[in-house]
């Protein structure tokens, strides 16, 4: 399921203490939450911690949620704030992930494919990586990503297009050396 659409009623039901709604929200958004945290923190252990904290915070803050039609944006804003708090307080581990958890190759894919994708992602700067990951993992629209990252929509669009060109160049360059 595309994480971009999350039923707003899940948050409302969570506010009423519905554990099943919390479970459903988690199942629909866990990969997007984790991927976004990983794109900021660049460490799978920190991203897992933030993911855990974000869902706990979302559950407890559900009573204050104001329906705006964008529950995923609300959740990812919580993730972003937790990540930046962790960075500000200096409680992040060294970068050891190299985005390995974001790159999933099915049974027909090779280790080489996974390495090429990891290297390609590493060619992107911080904001470019966030934009590409948010768009590809969640299916969020560019204007929604702009709201979450607090950037102009035009900047998100141009960085996304530039990122795709960088990724294509990186992948094609590595593909030639097979």
Whole-prediction pTM: 0.69
* Sign of the alpha-carbon dihedral angle for 17, 18, 20, 26: negative
Can you tell me which residue has the tokens 């855990």? Answer: 52
- CA Rg, the chain, in Å? 17
Task: Report d(CA 145, CA 141) in Å as an integer.
Answer: 6
pLDDT of residue 140: 80
Q: Which pLDDT band, with edges at 50, 70 and 90, does 110 fall under?
A: low
How do residues 54-95 score in pLDDT, each as one tens digit?
Answer: 999 999 999 999 888 788 889 999 999 999 999 888 766 655
- Angle, CA 145 vertex, CA 143 and CA 147 arms, to 5°: 70
With a CB cutoff of 8 Å and minimum separation 6, the contacts of 131 are 145, 149, 156, 159, 160, 163
pLDDT(109) > 70: no
Supply the DSSP symbol for 69.
S
Q: How far, CA to CA in Å, does 105 sit from each of 10, 83, 118, 132, 136?
A: 31, 27, 11, 18, 15
pLDDT(48) > 70: yes
Task: Report d(CA 86, CA 75) in Å as an integer.
Answer: 17
| CATH 3.40.50.2000, domain 8-175, yes or no | no
Helix (H, G, I), strand (E, B) or coil at 79: helix
129 phi and psi angles, rounded to 5 deg: -60, -45
Please check whether residue 4 is in contact with residue 72, taking contact to mean a CB–CB distance below 8 angstroms.
yes
Supply the DSSP symbol for 64.
G
Residue with the larger pLDDT of the pair 117 and 106:
117
């Amino acid at each position: 399921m595309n994480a971009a659409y999350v039923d707003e009623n899940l948050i409302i039901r969570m506010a009423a203490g519905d554990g099943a709604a919390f479970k459903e929200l988690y199942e629909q958004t866990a990969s997007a939450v984790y991927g976004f945290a990983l794109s900021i923190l660049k460490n799978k252990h920190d991203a897992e911690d933030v993911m855990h904290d974000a869902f706990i915070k979302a559950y407890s803050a559900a009573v204050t949620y104001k329906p705006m039609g964008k529950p995923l944006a609300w959740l990812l804003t919580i993730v972003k704030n937790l990540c930046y708090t962790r960075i500000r307080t200096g409680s992040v581990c060294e970068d050891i992930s190299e985005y390995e958890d974001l790159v999933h190759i099915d049974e027909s894919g090779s280790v080489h494919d996974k390495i090429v994708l990891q290297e390609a992602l590493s060619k992107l700067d911080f904001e470019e990586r966030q934009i590409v990951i948010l768009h590809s993992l969640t299916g969020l629209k560019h204007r929604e990503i702009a709201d979450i990252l607090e950037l102009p929509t035009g900047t998100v669009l141009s960085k996304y297009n530039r990122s795709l060109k960088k990724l294509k160049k990186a992948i094609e360059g590595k593909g030639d050396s097979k």
